[in-house]
């Protein structure tokens, strides 16, 4: 009898949203951007030199990092890039959450946080959101080994005002506070904490190209902080896998930052569709949480939400349903193109009147 099974690092993995092969499916389940990436990105990918595939990529991803530093008006040594923000977040957990005290995050938030904590054997404590799904900042004034907050939060879409986030950061000077800004580009102007990275040495802001820049498939994410934090992060990265971002991701990701006009236009279109669609859902009896993201979290107490989810799926419309306490009568619906949202409303109405 061999006993190798006693020594497995057994994990209960994160469950990503489904990626169906059928092109006819209206896919509103993983918060992807319905619009293509900037034409500059498409051109860069088309002209990508095959010869670059023969060589290792630039381990420092200098082209991308330099462009991000320029874009955010900070120094190159304040930027860390990874294979999507999941890679960046995982690396941050591994690097900075190494205390016996628990790390803190909300009970309802990005469901990857507890998975990394389990994987890296980091003790954690979830802090319940209030009955309106908002963060009560004084709940975070307890001994902890770190804090992670998605702002705006997922899957609720709710934004915590910047002064409240700042208060969490300033009242926890002995902990690294990660602010995951995956959806910040869909929030009102001036919402980001990026301009606080020079003020607080315990703040790390994480961003992704997957949602607002339409590049989920390319896998590009980054963190901004002070040079010391970025150095520790790089030390861990180079102790695990030096070549994270591939050459194409470095090139195309970098170019995406140059097309500010296209970026602003697609975001404005998504925000307009979001506001219109939120009203339409309310008109047919849904409670819709105020969203600062590219998705809505909506529920209707008079229906069986799982039945609606399955009905939509049977009609080739995929949304996300979490069968978890407190949120099992909500659907998370990514904002797609206008015509996709119209089709969705049509099918929801069909379900309500059947
Ligand atoms: C989508 C998402 C991420 C991960 O995005 P990547 O594609 O890995 O960059 C991280 N945090 C939150 C809250 C998200 O919704």
The pLDDT tens digits of the residues spanning 160-195 come to 999 999 999 999 999 999 999 999 999 999 999 999
| Contact between 336 and 296 (Cβ < 8 Å) | no
From ligand 1's centre to the CA of 51, what distance in Å?
31
How far is the C-alpha of 132 from the C-alpha of 348, rounded, in Å? 25
Band (pLDDT 50/70/90 cuts) for residue 239 is very high
Select from 30, 22, 18 the least CA-distant residue to 336. Answer: 30
Index of the ligand 1 atom closest to the CA of residue 85? 9
Of all protein residues, whose CA lies closest to atom 2 belonging to ligand 1?
A: 182
Q: Which two tokens stand for residue 32?
A: 């992807």
Band (pLDDT 50/70/90 cuts) for residue 73 is very high
From ligand 1's centre to the CA of 194, what distance in Å?
17
Across the chain, what does the average pLDDT equal?
A: 96
Of all protein residues, whose CA lies closest to atom 5 belonging to ligand 1?
A: 85
pLDDT at position 349: 96
216 lines ligand 1 (CB under 6 A): yes
321 lines ligand 1 (CB under 6 A): no
How far is the C-alpha of 221 from the C-alpha of 33, rounded, in Å? 15
Q: Mutation test of ligand 1: which of 64, 115, 160, 211 has the most ligand atoms closer than 8 Å to its C-beta?
A: 211
Backbone φ, ψ for residue 147 (5° rounding): -140, 140
From ligand 1's centre to the CA of 4, what distance in Å?
34
From ligand 1's centre to the CA of 349, what distance in Å?
31
Select from 345, 283, 294, 293 the least CA-distant residue to 317. Answer: 345
Dihedral of CA atoms 29, 34, 39, 40 in degrees, nearest 10, equals -40
| Predicted confidence (pLDDT) at residue 23 exceeds the cutoff of 90 | no
**pTM for this entry:** 0.97
From ligand 1's centre to the CA of 85, what distance in Å?
6
150 lines ligand 1 (CB under 6 A): yes
Instruction: Provide mean pLDDT across the span 107-131.
Output: 97
Q: Which helix (H) or strand (E) holds 168?
A: helix 162-170
From ligand 1's centre to the CA of 86, what distance in Å?
6
Index of the ligand 1 atom closest to the CA of residue 216? 7
Cα-based distances in Å from 335 to 67, 186, 315: 29, 11, 18
Instruction: Provide mean pLDDT across the span 257-277.
Output: 97
Instruction: Provide mean pLDDT across the span 194-210.
Output: 98
From ligand 1's centre to the CA of 346, what distance in Å?
29
If phi over 0 gives left and psi between -120 and 50 gives alpha, with beta otherwise, what is residue 334? beta
| Predicted confidence (pLDDT) at residue 1 exceeds the cutoff of 80 | no
82 lines ligand 1 (CB under 6 A): no
86 lines ligand 1 (CB under 6 A): yes
């Amino acid at each position: 009898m061999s006993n190798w099974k006693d020594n497995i690092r057994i994990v209960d993995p994160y469950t990503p949203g489904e990626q169906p092969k059928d092109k006819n499916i209206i896919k509103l389940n993983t918060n992807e951007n319905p619009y293509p990436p900037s034409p500059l990105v498409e051109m860069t990918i088309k002209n990508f030199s095959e010869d670059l595939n023969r060589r290792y990529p630039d381990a420092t991803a200098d082209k991308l990092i330099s462009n991000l530093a320029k874009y955010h008006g900070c120094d190159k040594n304040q930027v860390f890039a990874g294979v999507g923000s999941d890679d960046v977040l995982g690396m941050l957990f591994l690097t900075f959450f190494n205390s016996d005290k628990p790390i803190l995050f909300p009970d309802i938030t990005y469901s990857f946080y507890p998975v990394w904590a389990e994987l890296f054997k980091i003790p954690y404590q979830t802090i319940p959101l209030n009955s309106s799904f908002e963060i009560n900042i004084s709940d975070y004034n307890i001994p902890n080994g770190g804090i992670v907050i998605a702002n705006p939060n997922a899957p609720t879409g709710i934004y915590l005002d910047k002064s409240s986030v700042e208060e969490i950061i300033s009242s926890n000077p002995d902990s690294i506070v990660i602010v995951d800004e995956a959806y910040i580009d869909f929030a009102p102007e001036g919402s980001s904490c990026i301009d606080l990275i020079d003020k607080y040495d315990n703040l790390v802001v994480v961003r992704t190209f997957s949602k607002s820049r339409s590049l989920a498939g390319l896998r590009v994410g980054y963190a901004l902080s002070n040079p010391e934090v970025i150095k520790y992060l790089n030390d861990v990265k180079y102790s695990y896998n030096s070549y994270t971002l591939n050459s194409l991701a470095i090139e195309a990701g970098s170019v995406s930052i140059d097309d500010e006009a296209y970026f602003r236009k697609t975001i404005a279109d998504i925000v307009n569709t979001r506001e219109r669609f939120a009203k339409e859902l309310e008109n047919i009896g849904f409670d819709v949480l105020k969203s600062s993201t590219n998705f809505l979290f909506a529920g209707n107490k008079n229906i069986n939400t799982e039945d609606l989810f399955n009905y939509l799926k049977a009609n080739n419309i995929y949304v996300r349903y979490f069968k978890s306490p407190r949120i099992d009568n909500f659907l998370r619906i990514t904002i797609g193109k206008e015509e996709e949202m119209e089709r969705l409303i049509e099918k929801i109405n069909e379900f309500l009147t059947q």
